[in-house]
Amino acid sequence: MQSDAQLSTASLNDKADWDAYSLTHESTTAYHKYAWLEAVEHAYGHKPLGVIARHPKTQKVVGLFPAVFMKTPFWGKQICALPYCDVGYGIADNAEVLQDMQHFLHTKMANAGCRKLEIRQAESTPPGQDIQAGHKVRMLL
């Protein structure tokens, strides 16, 4: 671990703290609200696996990473951050916490026997980089 943040899988008990943090972070989107994890679970039955990072002394939230556990016909078991949208990256106070949360998801993936961890980043394709077959694309207007 790079940071000393305490990491755990978020639960309903963390909802208020999760949303309070997501409302203040500069890179947040509507998909970073806890309600999105709930909506995906209720609509599609995918288990929420959002990661919440807290400062070890103050218990203040210092990062969150929305994700869900999915079973799909093609990929089998996987963790996706986040399905049904183009963004799903974590947000944190610093890069070390973000890296630790991503490592936490990789560990969850290995422990659950998942074949894949998909993190959806909403960023532009660098010039000269070809679109790869089988990769999701999107069009912005």
Q: What is the mean pLDDT of residues 72-79?
A: 86
The tally of domains found in the chain comes to 1
Q: Is residue 43, in this structure, part of any structural domain at all?
A: yes
Q: Is residue 85, in this structure, part of any structural domain at all?
A: yes
Instruction: Convert 120-130 to b/e letters by CB count within 10 Å (16 or more is b).
Output: beeeeeeeeee
Q: Is residue 141, in this structure, part of any structural domain at all?
A: no
Q: Which domain holds residue 28?
A: 6-119
Q: Is residue 88, in this structure, part of any structural domain at all?
A: yes
Q: Is residue 135, in this structure, part of any structural domain at all?
A: no
Specify the amino acid at residue 92. Answer: A
Could you tell me whether strands 61-65 and 116-119 are parallel, antiparallel, or unpaired per DSSP bridges?
unpaired
CATH of the domain at 81: 3.40.630.30
Among 80, 84, 61, 57, smallest CA distance to 15 is for: 61
Q: Is residue 112, in this structure, part of any structural domain at all?
A: yes
pLDDT value for 130: 59
pLDDT(2) > 90: no
Q: What is the mean pLDDT of residues 27-55?
A: 94
Q: Is residue 24, in this structure, part of any structural domain at all?
A: yes
Could you tell me whether strands 116-119 and 68-72 are parallel, antiparallel, or unpaired per DSSP bridges?
unpaired
Whole-number percent of the chain with pLDDT over 90: 62
